[in-house]
Amino acid sequence: MSRRPSTERYLKLVSELISADRAISEGGSELASAILALQAVNQFVGADPNLQLNGVGLSLRRLLGALHDTAVGAKPAMLFGGAAFTEPGKTGRPTNVTRDQLRGYIVCAMNEMKASGMRNLDAAKAVEGMLTKHGVRFGGKQIKATQIIQWREQRGDTSPDATDEAILRFEALRASSPLPTNPQNARKVAEALIKGVSWWSNSN
């Protein structure tokens, strides 16, 4: 069984992901940033000898290769071979997927605050304050604590698929983190999530 990654490895991964996101917010190439982010994840996985031995990360390595091919003008089948999840008879592309994902990360920020011992409303108000601080709005409107609580309660029910998937991805990453859940760390993680949300929401 693989041991949890060291704090140093985890923080290095987070730093590289933040740098890739910042490049987008500063007008850089989205594709180049995606390649940098995926390289960081692949290096993180590849540094674990047990995961490497079992071949974990094959899909990510193939995706990285496809992104590199795309960056030089090729059209790899993995990315240009048609939709993978389109339902029969359903046409058009889904809308608001990015916003739905950001909604998931906002819920994750609230979950972090709750895990440190805060009550529902207090946790939601703390996240509301972070959203206000970083200028995050949806549809030009401020996101209130009551809305965040509602989003959290809708998970797995009326929540968009992209929202639930974003929450699951973050929970998997958090589960592998050596950082203990205490009020100080919870606020740092929640702030990092909301800062990431602000880069995306303020550039779209």
Please write the tens of the pLDDT for every residue from 59-102: 888 888 888 888 888 888 888 876 665 555 554 444 557 788 89
Are 191 and 104 in a shared domain?
Answer: yes
Q: Which domain holds residue 145?
A: 94-204
Average pLDDT on 103-107 reads: 94
Residue 110 in contact with residue 148, Cβ under 8 Å?
yes
**Average pLDDT over all residues of the chain:** 83
State pTM to two decimals.
0.57
Are 75 and 114 in a shared domain?
Answer: no
Average pLDDT on 132-161 reads: 92
Are 49 and 116 in a shared domain?
Answer: no
How far is the C-alpha of 171 from the C-alpha of 117, rounded, in Å?
18
Are 66 and 162 in a shared domain?
Answer: no
Comparing 20-29, 91-100, 127-136, the range with the smallest average pLDDT is 91-100
How far is the C-alpha of 170 from the C-alpha of 80, rounded, in Å?
27
- In the structure encoding, which two tokens stand for residue 92, read together? 């058009």
- The pLDDT assigned to 22 comes to 85
Of the residues 38, 68, 85, the one at which a domain ends: 85
The structural domain count of the chain equals 2
* Model confidence pLDDT, tens digit, residues 149-198: 999 999 989 999 889 998 998 888 888 777 787 888 889 899 989 988 88
Q: Report whether pLDDT(204) > 80.
A: no
